[in-house]
Amino acid sequence: MIRHPLVTILIPALNEEITIGEFVDWCKEGLQKANVTGQILIVDSSNDKTAEIALQHGAEVLKVPKRGLGRAYIDAIPEVRGQYVIMGDADLTYDMRFIDNFIEKFKEGFTFIMGSRFKGIIEKGAMPPLHRYFGIPLTNFILNKVHGSHFSDIHCGMRGVTLEALKRMQLQSQGWQYASEMIIKALQLDLKYTEVPVIFHKDREGRLSHHKRTGWYSPWMAGLVNLKMIFSRKNI
């Protein structure tokens, strides 16, 4: 265990035994390529072998009850040791082997860094057309219009924030709406922010996304709760 890493890769996980081992290996490769010390912290609420496999591959695991994606990040804050925090998903969709562009932006003084799949690479089949051409562009437009920002991919799960800024945000969201709350609070706190391109892969064979596990309505519910956050939390 590195006592004072520069970076913490902070990842919620729910039943990701198919991908978690390779995912941790990707994180280690990304840290090595960026030439930085790192903590890989998996916030796990699984009932499969996700935690066991993550530990075998060299990650740290924080076991928490199943309470929602936003809540997982809130629960993890006391365990974060890195000055910089990089977030993502444990499903091998966001390519954590390429975190060096986040590190470069942190070193340039940015305190909130959004990944952008639209400025990077979206693998064929990785994003449903409904999301790519309607849902994400629409909610991007609305958030940018309401809050005077210029983000290109507000739903990107790969993002970076300094630990100090993350604590200042005092996130409250328990579920998917954390994504919009984090952006809104970054704007309200006048954080120095930017975007970097990221690589987005399609789901591995045999793995179902959390939206597909929940049902056809899950993306619609995620969109609705984020829209509610955009409008009702304008003055957080």
Tell me the pLDDT tens digit for each residue of 68-101.
889 999 999 999 999 999 999 999 999 999 999 9
pLDDT, position 33? 98
Domain count, the chain: 1
Report the CATH number that the domain containing residue 181 is assigned in CATH: 3.90.550.10
Report if residue 23 sits inside a domain.
Answer: yes
Report if residue 1 sits inside a domain.
Answer: no
Query: Which burial class, exposed, middle or buried, applies to 211 when counting CB atoms under 10 A from its CB (0-12, 13-18, 19+)?
Result: middle
8 in Cβ contact with 80 (< 8 Å): yes
Report if residue 92 sits inside a domain.
Answer: yes
**Model confidence at 235: pLDDT above 50:** no
Work out the average pLDDT over 31-36.
98
- Mean pLDDT, the chain, integer: 91
Chain Cα centroid distance, residue 93: 11
Which of the residue ranges 154-163, 197-206, 216-225 would you say has the lowest mean pLDDT?
A: 216-225
Question: Using CA atoms, how far apart are residues 9 and 109, in angstroms rounded to an integer?
Answer: 19
Work out the average pLDDT over 197-214.
75
Range of the domain at 112: 7-232
pTM here? 0.90
Report if residue 2 sits inside a domain.
Answer: no
**Model confidence at 32: pLDDT above 60:** yes
Q: At what angle do helices 218-232 and 136-147 cross, to 10 degrees?
A: 10
How far is residue 144 from each of residues 79, 165, 166, measured CA to CA in Å? 33, 21, 21
**Model confidence at 213: pLDDT above 60:** no
**Model confidence at 113: pLDDT above 80:** yes
Give the percent of the chain with pLDDT over 90.
76
Phi then psi for 73, rounded to 5 degrees?
Answer: -65, -40
Report if residue 225 sits inside a domain.
Answer: yes
Report if residue 123 sits inside a domain.
Answer: yes
